[in-house]
Amino acid sequence: MSSALTQTCLSDPALPCDANASCSATDGSPSRACLASAVPLGVSYSRVRCCFRCCLLGAASELGLDAVRAQWLRETPPHVFEANHGWWLPPPLDEPLYMHASPFAVAPIRALASYLGPKPDQNQSAAAAKAQAEHTYLPGLQIAAEARALRPGLFATFAFASSARYLELLPSAVPRPATVIFAADGAMSRRWIPSAAGGWTQDEHARKRAALGEAPSSTQFFFSNPKATAGDALSHPLPRGLHSDAATWASLLDGREVMGGGTAAVPAFSPAAAAARPTLLLCGCCMDASYSRRAEKLEALRNNSFRCDAGGGRATVGRHEFIEELLTSRFVFSPAGHGHANHRDWEALVAGAVPVVDYSPDHVELWEGLPVVQVRDWATVTPAFLEAEWRRLAASRDELRMERVWWPWWLHRFTKAY
């Protein structure tokens, strides 16, 4: 799909978009640059999906990502897809939502650690279960050898911080990846990659990378929870993406998700848009309140007259109910947990709400151009403060870069080196 067609589709909602049209007709040579098309404020999910459909399918075919996804479906044990409300289910190739599984489902090199091992025996001892997990850890590496994308510049995605050892285990015939993605909870930096047993000094890191045949600046790293990456041009923060499966989200994004409550007739972040979202701040719902002083932050909000429940795991609220809550809220409490990054950050953005997050210098780059409120002191978060933030966003809405919410923009960034 040409960039011009995709951009025109996104920029002019009055133009018809046929979600079932053939993708063979373009106004020029296919180009993956269409993945980086700007998404104006006020474009609905259904429109985004329709406009990016041929672009995503064309990029997948060009890069061989269709073969990678097919291998994922063929070789991954069924119990993996059943875990965590389906968050390992690979989304369709034309799905613009950034799901948790998106960077795994199309990565020519990937590893999920023990997730790809045999399903644990419920009757075995804890020690035996741990031994089995360790035994099945290394075989978790998958390389899509049949994929057309297996060439210099492919990207790799790893699930956990300790997966860094996989960079050393790659066969010599496999090109070094130009992009490495670590979708891990724990904080990491490039200083500890690759590492089989703890961190290295910077000199050791450079020496090891040289031994792997890589130039010092050849690989871009993306971390869900980067640590001390300020000034490091090769390390970047990574979205956590949406929890559960894409079909659940797609079934509920019916137009109400337009950012800031805006419509064709009602400007985003206007008083009229606010009336469509009666909950000023969704707080306490669907999270573990024990992480990283979350309970203290909830108490600070309650002291400022917000009605926040006691928290608890996602199982306390059904997925549909949670998404409905997001669709009727203006702001969403999304404090740091095990790491600074949360699925809730992106769930709020996709649902058209504004996430309120803990300030982290290592995540400032991630929030550039997005409607996000970064907080240093939760005691300052009052109803008046959020109303002022709503007005600030209204004044700056023309500066927002909503394409950064969607998977196509990130796929372009991960693959633009090849």
- The CA-based angle 32-34-38, given to 5 degrees, is 145
Q: Model confidence at 215, in pLDDT bands (50, 70, 90)?
A: very low
The 10s digit of each residue's pLDDT in 123-133 is 555 555 444 44
- pLDDT at residue number 312: 52
Q: In the block, which residue shows the tokens 């969403």?
A: 332
* Identity of residue 355: P
- Domain ranges within the chain, ordered by starting residue: 3-55, 61-242+411-415, 246-401
**155-158 and 141-143 beta bridge pairing:** unpaired
- In the sheet that holds 329-334, the strands lie side by side as 279-282, 329-334, 354-358, 373-375
pTM exceeding 0.85: yes
Element (H, E) at 392: helix 383-395
C-alpha distance across the termini of the chain, in Å: 18
- Which 8-state DSSP code applies to residue 228? S
pLDDT at 318 over 50: yes
The 10 Å Cβ neighbour count of residue 50 is 20
Q: What share of the chain is helix, strand, coil (3-state, %, to 5)?
A: 45, 10, 45
Q: Model confidence at 163, in pLDDT bands (50, 70, 90)?
A: low
- pLDDT at residue number 109: 82
What value does the CA radius of gyration of the chain take, rounded to a whole number of Å?
Answer: 22
Mean pLDDT check: name the lowest of 91-95, 113-117, 286-290, 316-320.
113-117
- pLDDT at residue number 124: 54
Q: Model confidence at 234, in pLDDT bands (50, 70, 90)?
A: confident
Query: Which three-class secondary structure state does DSSP give residue 330?
Result: strand
Q: Model confidence at 332, in pLDDT bands (50, 70, 90)?
A: very high
**Both structure tokens of 194:** 């690759």
For residues 104 and 240, the answer to whether their CB atoms sit within 8 Å is no
**Both structure tokens of 66:** 């269709």
pLDDT at 113 over 70: no
**Both structure tokens of 58:** 């064309």
What proportion of the chain, given as a percentage, has pLDDT over 70?
73
- For domain 246-401, the question of CATH label 3.40.50 is answered with yes
| Higher per-residue confidence, 212 vs 98 | 98
- pLDDT at residue number 310: 54
Angle in degrees, 0-180, between the axes of helices 343-350 and 319-327, rounded to the nearest 10: 60
- pLDDT at residue number 106: 86
- pLDDT at residue number 85: 74
What mean pLDDT comes out for the span 52-68? 91
The 10s digit of each residue's pLDDT in 357-379 is 999 998 999 999 999 999 999 99
Query: Within 13 Å and on the Cβ side, how many CA atoms surround 86?
Result: 11
Four-CA torsion 410, 198, 364, 298, nearest 10 degrees:
110
For residues 183 and 102, the answer to whether their CB atoms sit within 8 Å is no
Q: Model confidence at 152, in pLDDT bands (50, 70, 90)?
A: low
The 10s digit of each residue's pLDDT in 171-200 is 666 767 788 888 876 666 665 454 433 344
| Higher per-residue confidence, 36 vs 152 | 36
pLDDT at 328 over 50: yes
Separation between Cα atoms, residue 102 and residue 116, nearest integer Å: 17
| Higher per-residue confidence, 46 vs 108 | 46
DSSP 252-318: H-SSTTSGGG--SSS-TTSHHHHHT--EEEE-STTB-TTSTTHHHHHHHHHHTT------B-GGGS-
The 10s digit of each residue's pLDDT in 2-30 is 789 999 999 998 899 999 999 875 544 55
Element (H, E) at 73: helix 65-75
**Both structure tokens of 108:** 């020519």
Which residues make Cβ contacts (< 8 Å) with residue 356, sequence separation at least 6?
281, 331, 332, 333, 334, 372, 373, 375, 381, 386
